Structure 1
Amino acid sequence: MPVVVVTDSAASLPADVVTELGIEVVPLHVLVGDREIREGVDAIDIDYGSDSVSTSAASPGELREIYSAALDRSGGDGVVAVHLSRRLSATWEAGRQAVDDMGTDARVRIVDSLGAGMGTGMPALAAARLAHGGAVLDEVYERAVDAANNAQTFLLVNRTEQLRRGGRLSSAAAFFGSELVTKPLLHLVGGKLELREKVRTRSRAYARLVAAAVDAAGRRPAAVAVQHLGAPEAADAVAAQLREQVPDIADFYVAELGPTLGVHLGIGALGVVVLPGGCS
């Protein structure tokens, strides 16, 4: 049986891709008051600007159950679990604890994607495609690690207040002057969210986002994903520019961000993920 790839719901992988490649998706949690909602499983209707909304990682028990089922499905060939950056979520640490509890003799490998959204999804997708082709556990694990190390994630948000309040934004990204007159362009560095630059206008911010993604893609085939929260027109405009300016696109995705990321990024967030070399 093929090695099974597991990821979490924050990876934002398209449902048809998940089904085709047999990827197991662990639901993360959105907390609304005293309600706990499973992303991708339960219906979610939330106010992204509310202080009463927060998120939580999957528990070691939840992960252990899913890893065990995935290991059984693989016929013992193994599991590669690709999770949201450990700098942004406790899910990776919960996964490590789950594996320790299972005592599976290293047949379950945990990968820190160093990313979020499709920054997690692309390494999981690259690993799953290799597994689907019959690769062994070590090969699938190494492919996931390689993709995680090479994927680049860029984000535009309207305000950084929610990110800083939740501890997701590096203290090095402290702003000088008012955010009201700047548009922060952020990027993930070693799994940590940091300020890349401040731009004065929205149109200039979109241009800088596109330029950063084009530069990251280089001249090789690249997988590209555009993600947004409540900004479909902006996402479509950025996607159109990337299709024109990235010379060789191997995979292209446009999708809305899930609620566990949306709670921290806020309405209007727009991001681009680039994986040079693609997901194959």
Structure 2
Amino acid sequence: MSEYEIYIDASVDVPADVLNDGNVHIVPMHYTADGAERVMERPLNDDEMKAYYDEMRAGVVMKTSQITPFHYEEAFRDDIEAGKGIIYLSLSSGLSNTYTSALTARNTILDEHPDAKIEIVDTLGATGGMGLLLILAVRNREKGMSLEENAAFLRDHALDVVFWFVVDDLSFLRRGGRISAASAIAGTMLNIKPILKITDEGTLTGVSKQRGIAKALKYMASLYEKSHEQTIADDVIICHADDIERAEKIRDMILDINPNAKTRITSLSPIIGAHTGPGMTCICYLGNRNIV
């Protein structure tokens, strides 16, 4: 029995075997489909993810909601009362209030159990980048790293996780307030594919505009070549919103650049996919996220 348990929320994108083999706990997240509430408690399989993005293509409006402090208390309580410590990896504080809610829950639990060990780690990232930190957290625990040491390691290396996204349908960025309606219309007419990244503050920002998906994927591969580092780990997580062909293309480009890369392809969860829409492709790895 481990000294501590590792938790992460349902916005993470990582192959299911990482969660199962690492004995990782998922904090459920809620979203709605045209107002009907759904709960995501586990990674969805390929068929479920295809159905989800087909709904979006058909015009179903997906919206996400925050995890409340109460839900965190409920998620953590059993392990705390069993005398176990907890590391929780949170979706970026720059994208969501989940980190703040988790801290509030931690303080409430500590009022009741002053000796409890709970470390809340702001990943300053999302999707597959959270998955990379999760992989490192599990490896560190297997090596015997203590709860406090592991949490400190994860915080120290959160900004070493690099994210590049290409979005296929600009209407979803417009709906989320990321770009104006005029920009969305013009970009769609010109087949513009924006490239985005997550900043050091954990927020989303644009870095380039490429005409067509082929150029966009090639550009992301060039960014990988310039910025990846193998010092900590050589893992790469590629996330896609129901477009496995694009994911495989960027994987092959990455392997041409670095044959030693440990690439994993996974679907983009409904939680993040609600904001990016179908066709989004993302690569996450360790390196320099400020190369551009």
Task: Give 3-state SS (helix, strand or coil) of 2:56's partner.
Answer: coil
Question: Could you say which residue in structure 1 is the equivalent of 2:56?
Answer: 48
Comparing 234-243 with 12-21, greater Cα deviation is found at 12-21
Deviation of 1:218 (Å): 3.7
Contact 2:33 2:60 in 1 (8 A): no
Cα distance in 2, alignment partners of residues 276 and 193 from structure 1: 18
Residues 214-240 of structure 1 deviation map (CA, whole Å, 9 limit, x = unaligned): 222146452111110111111111101
Give the TM-score normalised by the residue count of structure 2: 0.84
Residue identity opposite 2:212 in structure 1 = T
Name the residue aligned to 1:208.
219
Say if 2:74 is the partner of 1:65.
yes
Whole-Å Cα distance in 1 between the matches of residues 96 and 86 of structure 2?
A: 21
| Counterpart secondary structure, 1:134 | coil
- CA distance in 2: counterparts of 1:16 and 1:134, whole angstroms: 21
Which of residues 63, 73, 90 is equivalent to 1:83? 90
Structure 1 pair 30–176 and aligned structure 2 pair: CA distance change class (3 A): closer
Distance 2:175 2:185 in 1: 18
Note if 1:131 corresponds to 2:147: no
**Is 1:4 equivalent to 2:5 in the alignment?**
yes
Gaps of 5+ in 1: none
The separation in 2 between residues aligned to 1:19 and 1:218, in whole angstroms, is: 27
Partner of 1:233: 245
Q: Residue 219 and residue 100 in structure 1: after superposition, are their counterparts in 2 closer, same or farther (change >3 A)?
A: closer
Q: Write the mapping of 1:124-163 to structure 2, written as runs, cut at 5 A.
A: 124-163=134-173
- Summarize deviations over 1:136-180 as a string: whole Å, max 9, x none: 12111012212312101100002343234335x489xx9598212
Counterparts of 1:164 and 1:194, CA distance in 2: 14
Aligned twin of 1:217: 228
* Aligned residue type for 2:217: Y
Offset, 1:122: 1.2
Percent of counterpart pairs with the same letter? 24
Distance of aligned partners of 1:32 and 1:64 in 2 relative to their CA distance in 1, 3 Å threshold: same
Question: Is the Cα–Cα contact under 8 Å of residues 79 and 109 in structure 1 kept in the other structure?
Answer: yes
CA contact (8 A) 2:174 2:184 kept: no
> Counterpart amino acid of 1:18?
L
Unpaired segments of 5 or more residues in structure 2? none
Whole-Å separation in 1 of the counterparts to 2:17 and 2:104: 30
Equivalent residues, number:
271
Give the match's secondary structure for 1:11. coil
